[in-house]
Structure 1
Amino acid sequence: MSIDKPFHRNVRAMVDGPNSGYSGWAYIVDKDYSQNPTHYIRAFMMLQDDLQQVFEFVEPSDTNMNTHSFRIHELLMRTCIEIEANFRAILKENIYTPLDRNGNPRKEKSWNIIDFKKVDKTHRLSSYKVQYPVWDGAHFMFEPFKAWRSSNSLSWYQAYNASKHDRHDNFRQASFENLLNAFAALQILITAQFKTESFSATRSLGVNTDSYHTLNSGIGNYLLIDFPSDWSEEQKYSFDWSSLKQETVRFQKFDYNAV
């Protein structure tokens, strides 16, 4: 049975229906869907601007993957901090009350990548792909959460932690490749919450225009997004937003304690 009300900060595929096109995006701009979404969109946009400045000096290319520098290190740190902020927002706006080994509630500051991995269950992060539109070589498509499909660790996130806690000895782990994976991960995480809605002052149209690229651009109009195609019918949304938006309770909370 499909899902008749959207979860907070959770984009999913829609069951095909007469109004599924509109219903597949219009709930995202409802003010009860997420708390202060522009706070996260603005942070993402600033990071994208800074990444594009790096591209002025380091060409997006297969041959530059091992390039490392203080600027790349700084941007990797900031990007991963923003990833953690988005994971926390998703868990907090739904239901998540983890306990420690003694049965006491764990404080939010203790949440880590093990907690964050629960979000893959609801958002299909490991099924997203991101393409860098300007690239020299064959490695232009990134799947930063793919390792979670086989219960493996995220190597770029491990590199972030290593270079954060001991920059001197692990400086080379703050590489161009790990930065690109981290930023792709942030784009996916933002997309899995807000699709392509940037919450600008202009009206949302929910339509696409012709493009040079096969894939559609995500928020920020730079990276190209390949959305998950492996949602089961039971995991899809099946509401008509034209009717649901008239109700007092339009959203539900996912219980991450059960994951």
Structure 2
Amino acid sequence: MSVTKPYRRTCRQFVDGSYAEGGRWQYLLHKKFANEPQHFIRAFLMLQDDLEELFTFIEPADQNLNAYSHRTQQLLTRCCIEIEANLTAILLENNYPKTSSDLTMKDYKLVEFSHRLSHYRVRIPGWRGTQGTRMPFSPWGGSTQDPLPWYQAYNQAKHDRHAHFHLATFDVLLDAICGLAALLAAQFHQEDYSPQEKTLGVGASYSYDTDDGMSTSIGGFFRIEFPTNYPFSERYDFDWEALRQLPDPFDEFDHAAYA
């Protein structure tokens, strides 16, 4: 049996394999789907702008992956803080039985069970070389849910910058910001929650460097490949027009059941 009510802050496949079947994607716009999603997206857009500015000094290319500086370390720190904030919001808004101050990486890893983060692929357009497509959460996909190397680098550089400054490289920064892009997509698909009027238009469109089978990310820069392997029993299948009439049309994912 499929999922007949969407979970809070959780975007996933419908039974037909799509992420926006008919008009049912509009559950993303309901006020009770997420608490102030635009707050989280604005922070990401600022980071994306800063990354694109960094590209004027460090060419996005394989040869530069080991570069590091105060700027890469600062951006890495901000990215990881935003990732923690998003993971915290997912858990707490789904009624996870801990306070934000008590959450650890052990708790954050539970979001893998609701959002399949390990299956998201993110591509950096314009990259020169072979390292422009990343799966930042792939270590969480195994049964052991291994640590995230880029998050470990952030922690080490944060707690002892003098000794571990060299770990805050361009490479781990890219993993972190791609991870944040994936995490936002796993919650909000392509919705940026701007006040701009939405349209259901079906006109043709085109753009450069988008023949990769991926989707445009929130913010319009990164390319995202969404998971396509949700078991049928975990896919959404609901009548949104009927659900939206309910006082609360959302369910809460029981992350604690996987702890």
| TM-score bracket, shorter-length normalisation | over 0.9
Contact 2:217 2:224 in 1 (8 A): yes
Return the alpha-carbon distance in structure 2 between the equivalents of residues 174 and 35 of structure 1: 32
Indicate the residue corresponding to 1:80 in structure 2: 80
Indicate the residue corresponding to 1:117 in structure 2: 109
- Mapping 1:158-177, distance limit 5 Å: 158-177=152-171
Indicate the residue corresponding to 2:34 in structure 1: 34
TM-score (norm 2): 0.92
Aligned length: 249
Q: CA deviation at 1:61?
A: 0.5
Contact 1:83 1:189 in 2 (8 A): yes
Q: CA deviation at 1:210?
A: 2.6
Tell me if 1:141 matches 2:121: no
Q: Which runs of 5+ in 1 are unaligned?
A: 99-106
Indicate the residue corresponding to 2:22 in structure 1: 21
Contact 1:95 1:257 in 2 (8 A): no
Q: Which runs of 5+ in 2 are unaligned?
A: none
Return the alpha-carbon distance in structure 2 between the equivalents of residues 201 and 119 of structure 1: 29
Indicate the residue corresponding to 2:193 in structure 1: 199
Indicate the residue corresponding to 1:50 in structure 2: 50
Return the alpha-carbon distance in structure 1 between the equivalents of residues 102 and 161 of structure 2: 22
Return the alpha-carbon distance in structure 2 between the equivalents of residues 5 and 140 of structure 1: 36
Residue type of the alignment partner of 1:33: F
Residue type of the alignment partner of 1:70: H
Return the alpha-carbon distance in structure 1 between the equivalents of residues 226 and 100 of structure 2: 30
TM-score (norm 1): 0.92
Q: CA deviation at 1:204?
A: 2.8
Tell me if 1:211 matches 2:207: yes
| 1:112-168 alpha-carbon deviations (Å, 9 max, x no partner) | 211101001010100000000011111110000001112211100000001000001
Return the alpha-carbon distance in structure 1 between the equivalents of residues 37 and 50 of structure 2: 21
One of 105, 119, 124 as aligned partner of 1:132:
124
Q: CA deviation at 1:179?
A: 0.1
Q: CA deviation at 1:216?
A: 2.0
| 1:209-253 alpha-carbon deviations (Å, 9 max, x no partner) | 333312221100000001101111011000021221122220011
Indicate the residue corresponding to 1:179 in structure 2: 173
Residue type of the alignment partner of 2:95: I
Return the alpha-carbon distance in structure 2 between the equivalents of residues 61 and 38 of structure 1: 31
Return the alpha-carbon distance in structure 2 between the equivalents of residues 110 and 248 of structure 1: 31
* Pairwise CA RMSD: 1.5
Please give the secondary structure, in 2, of the residue aligned with 1:221.
Answer: coil
Q: Give the stretch that moved more between structures: 145-154 or 198-207.
A: 198-207
